[in-house]
Amino acid sequence: MRNSTYLKMGLNMLVHSKLRSWLTIIGIVIGVGSVIGIVSLGDAMEANVQSKLAEMDLTNIVISPGYTKASSNLHGGPPPGMGGGSSTDSELTDDDIDALQGMDSIQYIAGSISGREEVKYAGETATLSITGVDPQVWKYMTSLKTQSGRLLEPADRYVAVIGSSVASETYDQDIGVNQVITINNKSVRVVGVLEEEGMGDDSKIYMPIDGAVELIEDAKEDVYDSITVKAKSEDLIDELTEDIEKKLMVSRHIVQEDDKDFSVIASKSMAESVTEMMSSMTLFLGAIAAVSLLVGAVGIANTMFTSVLEKTKEIGTMKAIGAKNRDILMIFLFNSAMVGLVGGILGVILGSFVSSGLQAMMGSDMTGGGGVRFTLMLEGLALAVLIGVISGVVPAYRASKLKPVDALRYE
């Protein structure tokens, strides 16, 4: 018997199948739909993160006090010395910068301080994060860009560059270039407004470190909350990170890894771990969706078993008029493959809706928008057919092994 005949017979069975088969198909539709939806949502989010990361400067290495691997980049907690978090009361000072100064791979090195202070403007007060940076090198090290005004210049002292949301959202009245804000009762002139960045960086205020040290209460001269190193090239990052660690351990007289009181984190490795996190999240959600596919597969198998039972007499008849075991096997396999295929097609459609629905809910900020990849659709279809075939194998085999006499006698 030819494949086209198997196809025709399988299709005929599908077309004439009962409501039960369609319920089975719904199981596959939901399974494939959720897998496709979630995977393509994950894809979109990952692509979005990737594009954000591409804009990022990946040559930066941040050194921060305390050894808290996970969150050493997140400032705003109690400053060192207060014994906050798991960080020890270690601090980074000019000595550390001196120790690193002159390393071959380092292009720029600068310390920065940060703190949250009350910022007044036009009679309103808000608590904002102030970051003190080295105006000599900041404009070479940062990837931030201004939408108006300029970045900090070496001669600046009591001036500020503000994030876009500080400029337009924090206060009722928008802050423009050359306006004056008050930080801890000190007047500071705004010289630049940054472009919108997203991810919480828009509500920061950047100042020259010399000015900031006076305004931030807990800050001390020559003590930094973090030291940022810019490498000469991205390729040197891994090596440089290690070298910095070694050097600092020597200069800070630390012998054992366990006693380390600082962390060195490359923005590149952060980027990598973010990407990794995104894909493992997608994988996790996808796995949950796959469970529903599994349930769908069991449903197909169940329906196929019932169908074989129901069609016992027909199988007997077909065998009597010349069907070989293989013919019966193939007819039923084609049928269950087609159940999978139909479920897959509907599932891909559902998945596209689910994906675009979720993306709409999360906003284009998190996802890049865009539909389901074509290859993902094909994969979904292939998966559905595969599931159909696998769950149809045993019932089809049993159908093919029916003895013609017994099958004909079956009522």
- x/- mask, another protein, residues 228-257, rule CB under 8 A, reads ------------------------------
Q: Provide the minimum distance between the beta carbon of 315 and another protein in the complex, in angstroms, as a whole number.
A: 10
Site for another protein in 88-127 (CB under 8 A): none
Q: Provide the minimum distance between the beta carbon of 402 and another protein in the complex, in angstroms, as a whole number.
A: 10
Q: Please check whether residue 230 is in contact with residue 59, taking contact to mean a CB–CB distance below 8 angstroms.
A: yes
- Phi, psi of 98, rounded to the nearest 5 degrees: -60, -40
Q: Provide the minimum distance between the beta carbon of 297 and another protein in the complex, in angstroms, as a whole number.
A: 25
- Phi, psi of 182, rounded to the nearest 5 degrees: -115, 120
Q: Which of these segments, 9-17, 201-209, 356-364, 378-386, binds another protein (CB under 8 A)?
A: 9-17
Q: Does 309 bind another protein (CB under 8 A)?
A: no
Closer Cβ to another protein, 173 or 325, answer by number: 325
- x/- mask, another protein, residues 323-362, rule CB under 8 A, reads xxxxx-----------------------------------
Q: Provide the minimum distance between the beta carbon of 22 and another protein in the complex, in angstroms, as a whole number.
A: 15
Q: Provide the minimum distance between the beta carbon of 31 and another protein in the complex, in angstroms, as a whole number.
A: 27
Helix, strand or coil for residue 271?
helix
Q: Provide the minimum distance between the beta carbon of 54 and another protein in the complex, in angstroms, as a whole number.
A: 57
Q: Does 314 bind another protein (CB under 8 A)?
A: yes
Q: Which of these segments, 10-18, 41-49, 77-85, 390-398, binds another protein (CB under 8 A)?
A: 10-18
Q: 134: Cβ–Cβ under 8 A, 6 or more apart, which residues?
A: 110, 111, 112, 208, 209
Residue carrying the six token digits 């596209």: 352
Closer Cβ to another protein, 197 or 314, answer by number: 314
Q: What angle do CA 47, 50, 56 make, to 5 degrees?
A: 150
Q: Is the dihedral of CA 259, 265, 270, 273 positive or negative?
A: negative
Q: Provide the minimum distance between the beta carbon of 390 and another protein in the complex, in angstroms, as a whole number.
A: 25
Q: Does 403 bind another protein (CB under 8 A)?
A: yes
Q: 409: Cβ–Cβ under 8 A, 6 or more apart, which residues?
A: 316
CA distances from residue 53 to 48, 136, 213, 267 in whole angstroms, order as listed: 9, 26, 31, 10
Beta strand extents in 157-314 (DSSP E only)? 159-162, 180-183, 186-194, 204-208, 223-224, 226-231, 262-266
Q: Please check whether residue 275 is in contact with residue 50, taking contact to mean a CB–CB distance below 8 angstroms.
A: yes
- Ramachandran assignment for 257, one of left (phi > 0), alpha (psi -120 to 50 degrees), beta (any other): alpha
Helix, strand or coil for residue 136?
coil
Closer Cβ to another protein, 221 or 406, answer by number: 406
Closer Cβ to another protein, 186 or 324, answer by number: 324
Closer Cβ to another protein, 15 or 199, answer by number: 15
Q: At what angle do helices 374-400 and 267-310 cross, to 10 degrees?
A: 30
Closer Cβ to another protein, 304 or 318, answer by number: 318
Closer Cβ to another protein, 307 or 367, answer by number: 307
Q: Which of these segments, 162-170, 281-289, 314-322, 380-388, binds another protein (CB under 8 A)?
A: 314-322
Closer Cβ to another protein, 224 or 334, answer by number: 334
HSE, CB side, 13 Å, CA atoms: give it for residue 67. Answer: 10
Q: Provide the minimum distance between the beta carbon of 16 and another protein in the complex, in angstroms, as a whole number.
A: 4
Show the tokens assigned to 39.
């995977």
Q: Which residues pair with 61 in a beta bridge?
A: 229, 266
Q: Which of these segments, 49-57, 100-108, 224-232, 313-321, binds another protein (CB under 8 A)?
A: 313-321
Q: Provide the minimum distance between the beta carbon of 47 and another protein in the complex, in angstroms, as a whole number.
A: 47
Q: Which of these segments, 5-13, 227-235, 251-259, 351-359, binds another protein (CB under 8 A)?
A: 5-13
Q: Which of these segments, 1-9, 223-231, 285-293, 366-374, binds another protein (CB under 8 A)?
A: 1-9
The DSSP secondary structure of 12-54, one letter per residue, reads HHHHT--HHHHHHHHHHHHHHHHHHHHHHHHHHHHHHHHHHHH
Show the tokens assigned to 202.
């828009």
Number of residues that bind another protein (CB under 8 A): 25
Site for another protein in 13-52 (CB under 8 A): 13, 15-16
Q: Which residues bind another protein (CB under 8 A)?
A: 1-2, 5, 12-13, 15-16, 313-314, 316-327, 403-405, 408
